[in-house]
Amino acid sequence: MAEAPAADRYDLVVIGAGAAGLVTAGGAAQLGAHVLLVEQHRLGGECLWTGCVPSKAMIATAARGGKGWADARAALNAAITTIEPHDSLERFRGFGVEVVQAKACLLGRDRIDVGGRRVSARRIVIATGPDPAVPPIPGLAELPYLTNENLFDLPVQPHHLLVIGGGPIGVELGQAFARLGTAVTIVANGPLLARQDAEAVDVVRRQLVADGLTLHEKATIVRASGAAEDLRLHLDDGREIAGSHILVAAGRKARTKGYGLTEAGVRTGKNGISTDAWLRTSNPRIYAIGDCREGPRLTHAGDQDARAVIQNALFPFRKRKDYSALPAAVYCDPELAQVGQTEADARAQHADISIYRHDFDHNDRSVTDGDARGFVKIVARGKRVLGVTIVGAHAGELLALASFAVSGKLSLADLAAQTFAYPTLAEALRHAAEQPGQAFLFSPLVRRLTRLFQRLP
């Protein structure tokens, strides 16, 4: 095949303009690379339009006592409008990125069809994002169910929302709708927030019940039926749950179909595009980042991928992917934040772990704020911090130092030695970390040494 014309040859072609693709394209172009960014829909991807931004704006509206869905829609649309210029076509063209709004399809190891135009690239980055995962429940496909892709355009507030899924999306949106005045029932095929620390989930569960949500955990849906405004979920134990709307919040799946991956020699696994330690696919010229590759589906994980792949695709020195200290938060109320291993995960791997916990009802800021729900839990093995779980107000904001510790850059003693402003919620992290040191410091041995030293002149 003849070489592509010089004008159609790029250092880097990025397919997908969600968070991961935008960071990659913008960063590479500012470093001096010749970059083409291809997006068939709107720049900003799921996070801006149907994910993090609208959902968090809705959650905040509900927490502030918003009067209903109209208030929530106004707030989420305002948030999108404010943030959208950061992801705009004009901004990225200003960085030197060539942006084309078209469908991209791989034609071979280094060639791409971009809306009928054929281009080639030294390196290609696939950042096509996710689609909602819809469970194969008989009858569901025939019903007008909602996902995060159409929920925020809903013209009227649901009377009774049936949420399929007890993960972060289902819990966050379910609680927000309940606080806006909707009756909410969550149906989960396992325990609520199954990947989180069970003790922390109990704190969240109690609040959801207090907010009026009905929870059906470890429940199997065998069939869905009904029509608009009269929808029903049938459980395997014979129960029938009726509601006006169904929200499918069963997670997300990698968007990989229709991009010519097979033609380009790019292999996929069960949960997305397979990559090596440097985010390369089975075609070494092509990388996959963010929610389309196997691995954690979090916006900040895509951002981390992007920063690594800029280095790996443009320069001869490499940066490995590493999700071991990747923080995650569920933005319900109270928030549930986690970095590293949960207590259950650590106990399954090690016989010699220690747990250090500090409850927020012993934190002065929590008490003065009138919200003492939750706790900080540190999972450690000797001086090494394996994981930190925080459930309580602003838990996600407290994770930064904990992530630093889980990454190995701070020991348990280093955490204990930190000085925080008083009174702050962050002090709870120090109080948990200092427990093993205090056990030694106030031991009979140290007491005897103290008395001995007092005899010195």
pLDDT of 3 over the 50 cut: no
| 39-46: average pLDDT | 94
Six token digits for residue 154: 């809903």
Helix (H, G, I), strand (E, B) or coil at 8: helix
pLDDT confidence bin for 441, thresholds 50/70/90: confident
- Using the predicted structure, report yes or no on whether residue 4 has a pLDDT greater than 80: no
For the segment 157-164, the average pLDDT, to the nearest whole number, is 98
What are the structural domain ranges in the chain? 6-43+88-132+253-314, 140-250, 328-441
When pLDDT is cut at 50, 70 and 90, the band that residue 7 belongs to is low
452: Cβ contacts below 8 Å, ≥ 6 apart: none
Percent of the chain surpassing pLDDT 70? 98
Going 251 to 130 to 341 to 364, the CA torsion angle's sign is negative
How many CB atoms within 10 Å of residue 40?
A: 16
Name the band, by pLDDT with cuts 50, 70 and 90, for residue 132. very high
DSSP states of 232-297 as a string? Answer: EEEETTS-EEEESEEEE-S-EEE--TTS-TTTTT--EETTEE---TTSB-SSTTEEE-GGGBSS--
* pLDDT of the residue at 446: 87
Binning pLDDT at 50, 70 and 90, where does residue 457 land?
confident
Does the domain spanning 140-250 belong to CATH 3.90.1150.10? Answer: no
Please check whether the two domains, 140-250 and 328-441, share a CATH topology.
Answer: no
pLDDT in tens, 258-309: 999 999 999 999 999 999 999 999 999 999 999 999 999 999 999 999 999 9
Domain 6-43+88-132+253-314 has CATH 2.40.40.20: no
CA distance 349 to 26: 41
Phi, psi of 448 (to 5 degrees): -65, -40
pLDDT bucket at 116, cuts 50 / 70 / 90? very high
- What is the per-residue pLDDT for 438? 85
pLDDT tens digits along 184-221: 999 999 999 999 999 999 999 999 999 999 999 999 99
Does the bond joining 334 to the residue before it have cis omega, within 30 degrees of 0?
yes
How high is the pLDDT of residue 65? 87
Judged by DSSP in three states, 164 sits in strand
Sequence-distant (≥ 6) Cβ neighbours of residue 127 within 8 angstroms: 14, 15, 16, 17, 18, 20, 21, 24, 288, 289, 290, 292, 302, 306
**pLDDT score of 365 more than 90:** yes
Q: 2 falls in which pLDDT band (50, 70, 90)?
A: very low
Residue (of 222, 65, 62) closest to 138 by Cα position = 222
Q: Is the pLDDT of residue 241 over 70?
A: yes
Predicted local distance difference test score (pLDDT) of residue 198: 97
Indicate if the pLDDT at residue 167 is higher than 80.
yes
Long-range pairs for 363-372: beta carbons < 8 A, 24 or more residues apart: 363/423, 363/425, 363/427, 363/428, 363/431, 364/422, 364/423, 364/427, 365/423, 365/424, 365/425, 365/427, 366/392, 366/393, 366/425, 366/428, 368/423, 369/393, 371/334
The chain-wide mean pLDDT, for the chain, equals 95
- The tokens of 301 are what? 């994980």
Q: How far apart are CA 55 and CA 332, in angstroms?
A: 11
- pLDDT, residue 440, reads 83
Section 137-159 average pLDDT:
96
Whether the bond between 5 and the residue before it is cis, its omega within 30 degrees of 0, is: no
pLDDT at 330: 97
Task: Indicate the class that CATH gives domain 328-441.
Answer: alpha beta
Q: What are 248's two structure tokens?
A: 């499918």
Residue 6 pLDDT greater than 60, yes or no: no
Q: What is the mean pLDDT of residues 350-379?
A: 97
